[in-house]
Amino acid sequence: MIAQTIIEKRKMGINTKMENINRNSGVLLHITSLPNEYRLGCFSSECHRFIDWLYDSGFRTWQILPLVDCGYGGCPYNAHSSFAINPYLIDISEFLSAEEIASFGFDKSQPVYSEQDKLDKALDLIYDKFSASSPRTEFDKKNSYWLDDYALYKVIKSKHNHVSWQEFPVKLRDRNKVALTEFRDKYAREIDKVKFLQFVASNQWENIHNYAKSRGIKIFGDVPYYVCMDSADVWSNPKNWKLATSTTKGEIAGIPPDCFNADGQLWGNPIYDFKSMALDKYKYMTSRFTRAEELVDYIRIDHFVAFGNYYSIPANSKTAKNGKWVKGEGDKLLSAITSKLKAPIIAEDLGMITPEVVKLREKFNIPGLKLLQYAFHGDCDDMYKPHHWGKDSVGYLGTHDNDTYKGMLDNIGSWEHLNRIKKYLRMPLEWGNDAVIDQSIIAMYQSNACMIIITMQDILKLGSDCRMNIPGTTENNWLWQMNEMPSREICSYYADLAYTYGRL
């Protein structure tokens, strides 16, 4: 397909916001991975320190994972709401004295659930001390389209042992108006606390975001394609999904069987009912992205390939074998989303890249991802080698879902494979893996990619024990944390790379 020119796309009203991404480099580091002496990272002064370090190091982008409410230390892709900020990211030191914080007995060596209980008590104290004087009226009104249902959902869950909304008492599950009114009246204080914490979290993040803007740093955020079944989104507006009813089985997302998994994967996310969504011009989906735009400057769409085709499985299935591929809502949905946005979109288009996905990216001028870890496995992986990265690419060594680059090199298991990498990088074969990391990063800087992103673990040359997530597992993920900011030497090294290769 011959790509349309930028001018032609403008005439058609198609997104050309990729022009707003200047050639630059950035770092992937989630908020929780920032240093903190007593807990996981939060919206503390360490955010400002990190922004300063980014600027001094020649980086102009800070990529984070979703800021959503996923519990303390939980998976940021498993959210109770697409709109709410995780209240456990609140910097409690803004409100509480050192003595008050010490009284809770925080201990990072303890399991995250025990530390979450302590944070809950700290947040309760903040609410008791400051809620009456908080100027919240405008915030509550502006965000009422999601905040009211989210707060109600959170309190219903807390009063029913945190079960899924599908297991709420029937009248609350089915949103009986009388039952909901009675519940609101009975638990008005608890509902108000949820809203207050969202106000605090939003204010703290807004201050950080504004500081980043003042330093010329763009925040690169993330919107997953799917949402969780157990979320305020699905409970409050079930017509947007193909849910199981007395007459329908419902449909969930996943991926089909392959050579690695004979049963495929059941993700459990509900499948969208696009026929229903189209009736209000995809209002729910567009509101997810406009909310994200309030929080970040660039938006990565996780699992972008589903815009082209997605795998749908009957909701009662035990495996993914009975699923089917369905044509995505790509053109219509992307048109609706991009028409509402000023922020550039980046596609996480890893996995099975179909012609439909490529056409969508080209039509809407959306950059895709290129991972160096995926290169050097054979002829078919040439697209992942940096000399093939075009201006419509965002390059990585690996993302939060991959092993660290050092971990990958240490565990590569084949001298032939390792030497193939070294030969590509034009480096002596006797050089060690740390040198391979350096040369790989230089190759990224030299590439034509509009943006390159390096995980902090790769900047620090850390091994597999420091990776952020192992997909398909549930234990000990999302917990990696820096002890301190990187050295001045590292800062100077990357500042020189950014200057040398024109990424300032």
Angle, vertex CA 481, rays to CA 501 and CA 47, nearest 5: 65
Q: Which residues contact 406 (CB under 8 A, 6 or more apart)?
A: 433, 434, 437, 457, 458, 461, 462, 463, 464
293, 401, 410, 438: the catalytic one is: 401
Structure tokens at 337: 């989303």
Structure tokens at 248: 């329908």
In 3D space, the residue among 338, 352, 245, 367 whose CA is nearest the CA of residue 15 turns out to be: 338
Specify whether 52 is catalytic.
no
Are the CB atoms for 3 and 363 separated by under 8 Å?
no
Q: How far apart are CA 78 and CA 302, in angstroms?
A: 13
348, 392, 403, 458: the catalytic one is: 348
Strand pairing report for 24-28 and 368-371: unpaired
Give the ranges where 391-487 is alpha helix by DSSP (H).
405-410, 415-424, 433-446, 456-459
Q: Which residues contact 87 (CB under 8 A, 6 or more apart)?
A: 69, 123, 194, 197, 198, 200, 201
Give the 3-state secondary structure of residue 318.
coil
Specify whether 382 is catalytic.
no
Q: How far apart are CA 87 and CA 96, in angstroms?
A: 15
293, 302, 356, 438: the catalytic one is: 302
Q: How far apart are CA 81 and CA 84, in angstroms?
A: 6
Q: How far is CA 383 from the centre of its chain?
A: 24
Give the 3-state secondary structure of residue 503.
coil
| DSSP one-letter string for 356-396 | HHHHHHHHTT--EEEEGGG-SSSGGGGGGSGGG--TTEEEE
Specify whether 56 is catalytic.
no
Residue numbers annotated as active site: 302, 348, 401
